[in-house]
Amino acid sequence: MENRADYTAQAALLKALSNPIRLEIVHSLLLGGCRNVTCMERGTGMSQSCISQHLQKLRSAGVVTAERSGNEVYYQAASAEVARLVAALFGEEASNYVL
């Protein structure tokens, strides 16, 4: 039998991606789209605060990582596991994604 912690971790990943806005953000990152909040704001039409709140939840869940460069913070998907899951949802190849 699998370890209960494994199920808990996988459920947390699914929960983080279960919001359409967060899923859109992660999918865009994997496709090589915008990597900072300013660019995401222009590309999605969502407010900076909305995007930032969702990115914080994704970071807390370990779905994305962040790296500061000057005044900007750049985001990317945290793992190949995230890429495989999103690829399965969209019927795409995870090997085509940017990690």
Q: Is 1's pLDDT higher than 60?
A: no
What average pLDDT score do residues 27-43 get? 92
CA distance 61 to 72: 21
Determine the pLDDT at residue 56. Answer: 97
Question: Residue 53: which pLDDT band, with cuts at 50, 70 and 90?
Answer: very high
Task: Give the CATH architecture of domain 4-96.
Answer: Orthogonal Bundle (1.10)
CA distance 53 to 76: 16
Instruction: Find, among 88, 85, 82, the residue nearest to 99 by Cα.
Output: 82
pTM for the predicted model, two decimal places = 0.91
Determine the pLDDT at residue 44. Answer: 86
What average pLDDT score do residues 42-64 get? 94
